[in-house]
A = this chain, B = another copy of it.
């Protein structure tokens, strides 16, 4: 059994020690990989951008025709109690909704809602300074708008990533870039415009936070991004809840720009940290 035994989870309508959080094998996540989830950060007891994550969670559930068994105020109360019970200084909370216990192994039953919380490690200053290398792979996620639990392709490629010294995959389809398995992707062009793929991507909350920055010195837009443009980019970075703004320094065999995190990427990370600090009642830990 994994997991810190002092932590609680929420499952089957009640709080239970995480190490005793089990689902029957008839659950449609186990039988057919059928479920959706979401994941947000909690700093010193305070969830960051919670409403945006809840919006997306309910939207994903609807796209898979699954009813969330708790209305939003009740789900918010569960999250609050879980945070209160676990008292972690910095954590990630995962909301998981499965197709439920299926009588015939194919048709959904009453969805199972599982809420877990675990300590979170954010990129260290050294990791931000080193940046990340990506390898490209032709694949479009099924139903990209939904945060479904299907990560078959991303996980199957882990050994290839290791063998090639890369940290993550960048998906494209016939040369048109979409996203990484667990992050959105941006490039900084030579005119300093910052572009992220517009279609066939998950609506990342960090991505949206950057696109909506109230005072940005750079023009951030959604648009078409091709593989050719990526190789020519001045800078590139990933965004996600756990990666924040993570510089990309190499894609396939192409070193980007100087091979070091660039000034636009670093400025946008600082802007995101400012937003996060504004959400956290106690100031968020500085990084980078």
Contacts and interface: CB of A to CB of B under 8 A. Distances in A.
Contact of A156 (B96, B116, B139, B143): B143
Contact of A22 (B25, B109, B153): B25
B32 A150 contact: yes
A70 interface: no
A24 B24 CA distance: 9
Q: Which of A63, A149, A158, A159 has the most CB of B within 10 A?
A: A149
A220 interface: no
Nearest to A19: B24
Interface residues of A, number: 52
A112 to B, nearest CB: 9
B25 A11 contact: yes
Contacts of A156: 63-65, 143
Interface of A: 1-3, 9, 11, 19, 21-35, 63-65, 94, 96, 98-99, 101-103, 105-109, 114, 116, 139, 142-143, 148-153, 155-156, 158-159, 182
Given A22-B22, A32-B152, A142-B142, 14 more contacts: A1-B101, A2-B24, A2-B109, A3-B26, A21-B25, A22-B24, A23-B23, A23-B30, A31-B96, A33-B34, A33-B148, A64-B155, A94-B105, A106-B151
